[in-house]
Amino acid sequence: MQLRAPSYPLITIDPFFSVWSPADRLTDVDTAHWTGYTNAILGTAEIDGKPYRFMGKDRDGVPAMEQVSVDVDAFTTTYVYEACGVRLTLLFTSPILPDDLYYLTRPVSYLEIKKEIVDGHKHTVKVKLACAEQLCVDRVGDDTVTAEVLPESGKVKTVKMGSVGQKMLAYEADDARISWGHFYLSTNAPEAVVGVEKKSISFFTFRERPDVEAEMTFATAEVSLGSSALFTFAYDDGYSIQYFHQNLKSYWNRDGADIVDEIGKAFADYKRVLARCRAFADRMFIDAVRAGGEKYAELLELAFRQTIAAHKLVLDENGEVLWISKECYSNGCAATVDVSYPSIPLFLLYNPELVKGMMRPVYRVARSDFWKSRFDFAPHDAGRYPILNGQMYGYKNGDLLYEKQMPVEECGNMLIMEATVAIATGDVSFAGEHMDLLDQWVKYLIKNGRDPENQLCTDDFAGHFAHNCNLTLKAIMGIACYGILQGMNGKKREERKYLAMARDMAADWAKRAANGDGSYRLAFDRPGTFSMKYNIVWDKLFGTGIMNPTVIESEVASYRRHENVYGLPLDNREGYTKSDWLVWTATLAKNRADFEAMVEKLWNAFNSTETRVPMTDWYWTVTAGEKEYSSRTYSPAHPEEGFIKGFQNRTVQGGLFIKLLEYKGIMKLH
């Protein structure tokens, strides 16, 4: 990979078990949770008796090995280090295969360390890992953390670490880490020594605060390195999600599987699962290069683990999949419709059943007496992660406010998602289970979508407004998707009716939205404005011909006049953009060169940004900085610390896969 990642994924299992390196070199800073809070994993190598660092910042004057290279593919981040004639290769692999629910959810991540002698001399090498208690508390000092060495199981040696209090599913919050369950550091290396240490170190808490120092517990593993050694990092959270007041386990331990047994299985199947990951990653990269070029393919490599690991998979009381997203660093909502919608291209490609798992919590909310008694449109979310007991967004003083809802946005999203799942699977039965709600929501779009009132949509960072042209495009595609579903159900007359309705609305849209120069407006009543028209992209993927293609061609041509050095702004109001919508908009381009030119600016933004966090989807197109954003989020333990900045680690990066989805032809109707 030529892309310099803003942050490098190391352990990517779920929103809580997520460790990154936010620097060019693994020895420049400590590893961190995606929120930026330090989750230190320290790595040292003793070469011929002399200590060196290969992971973690300098505290004691121990020199760093020279980092020769770093590379990223869909599942593995690889570092190469050298010192004193010794080369160490570190392979961090999280085998979260989306088409295999067991590996997708088994909470075990690997680190393989390989040794080579590069100067022709003999050298003795010992490597040591030390994992801080930060991995199993929200904030250091919130609870006492203890660790113990477990009895050896087979040839695997393990240290277990966790908080004393074990307050299961104790809070819902955005800027938060886990404080229940247990972390496990393991190795099967011969003559390895695992243990527990206490030491005082300085560490970074929050971006608004300087380093602090505290005594912490560390789980450690030390190995005399032959040609290679294998380590695993695992986390058993016990219960993962509260779903309508029922605590649910993750898929892997739904029947009570034991984490120590799973760790043993992980060592046993490492070579086989690594081969599967490499085959998957290689095929994805090749397909992406063919679809949109090498820089596009590199963006997908970086987005893949982030997108998947910001979800948690559990089963409901009927044994059906729930694929729960966390709306990371925007407000922590769970199963948010307008976050799921942009992410679906990745899952339509690799496992459409997961898209159904995104939608089930939303249907559950929509069928609740509370929701039905108030609204005739689709909900926004199903709670705040990891507590899903009903919609969280839009409350004020205990009331769920209408003006905080997104009626056209979410109705359109759900209808489009249903149609794409049906097309990807060739099966309309899932939509059939919810046709009463889909009937209701398409009626809402027909009544309100042609010229939306002053209502919120997913892009209203600069304030919401009436007559939103892109929102009407979503309504048009929602109506078209309802027609597609009717056709798949054998109701061809209904299909023709709704597709004709969508085409009529599209023709009317083209007249009312036109600026007169080949471009189209942000709002029908705002001449001379512009915005990304990404919602119409499904018309191209489906091949439905809803919008006159000359309209889209002239609109895409106009975008080049508005681009800044790091991409096309979301609309004319501000200089920021959204990475997911930028790629959807680029996918509208008729020719490959225009797509690559638009996406190259996104690649450049991630390659050069000084904001070292997992991929942000909201950034300035002039400076490539993360867009600052303030939002109040409640943390019961620390209610005084509520302000967050920027979007990062969000699942919407799954939207970058839309060009690959088009290339594969999965959405094309025949």
At residue 456, the pLDDT reads 86
State the chain's maximal CA–CA distance in angstroms: 80
Could you tell me how many helices (H) and strands (E) the chain has, helices first? 17, 27
Sign of CA dihedral 152, 154, 157, 162: negative
Rg of the chain taking only CA atoms, in angstroms: 25
CA-wise closest residue to 546 among 537, 554, 557, 555 = 537
Burial class of residue 439 (count of CB atoms within 10 Å of its CB; 0-12, 13-18, 19+): exposed
pLDDT at residue number 625 = 66
**What pLDDT score was predicted for residue 632?**
30
Cis amide prior to 15 (ω within 30 degrees) = no
Angle between helices 259-268 and 270-292 (to 10 degrees): 70
Q: Determine the Cα–Cα distance for residues 172 and 170; give it in Å rounded to an integer.
A: 7
Angle between helices 270-292 and 294-309 (to 10 degrees): 130
Structure tokens at 507: 């023709």
DSSP assignments along 323-359, one per residue? EEEB-TTTT-EES-HHHHHHHHHHHHHH-THHHHHHH
In this structure, the dihedral spanned by the alpha carbons of residues 274, 277, 278 and 280, taken in order and rounded to 10 degrees, is 160
DSSP 581-614: HHHHHHHT-SSHHHHHHHHHHHHHHHHH-S--SS
Whether the CB-CB separation of 449 and 475 falls below 8 Å is answered with yes
Residue 430 DSSP class: H
The answer to whether residues 20 and 614 touch, using CB atoms and an 8 Å cutoff, is yes
pLDDT along the chain (670 residues), means of 10: 96 98 96 94 98 95 97 98 98 98 98 96 97 95 96 96 96 93 97 96 70 92 97 98 97 96 98 98 98 98 98 97 95 96 98 98 97 96 97 88 92 98 98 98 98 90 90 98 98 98 98 97 97 98 97 96 94 93 97 97 93 91 63 34 59 98 95
CA angle 317, 320, 325 (to 5 degrees): 100
Locus of tokens 């243990």: 195
Choose which CATH entry (1.50.10.10, 3.40.350.10, 3.30.450.40, 3.40.718.10) describes domain 278-664: 1.50.10.10
Q: Say if CB 669 and CB 420 are below 8 A apart.
A: no
Class of the 8-243 domain?
mainly beta
Facing residues of 233 across strands? 109, 185
CA 599 distance to own-chain centroid: 19
Neighbours of 205 (CB within 10 A): 17
pLDDT confidence of residue 637: 40
Beta pairing, strands 399-400 & 576-578? unpaired
How far is Cα 179 from Cα 237, in angstroms, rounded to an integer?
A: 9
CATH 1.50.10.10 residue ranges for the chain? 278-664
Rounded CA separation 4/9 (Å): 12
Provide the whole-model pTM. Answer: 0.95
The region that residue 502 occupies, defined by phi over 0 for left and psi between -120 and 50 for alpha, beta otherwise, is alpha
CATH 2.70.98 location in the chain: 8-243
Reference 75, options 350, 307, 347, 304; nearest CA is 304
Report phi then psi at 550, rounded to 5.
-70, -30
Q: Residue 634: its pLDDT value, please?
A: 31
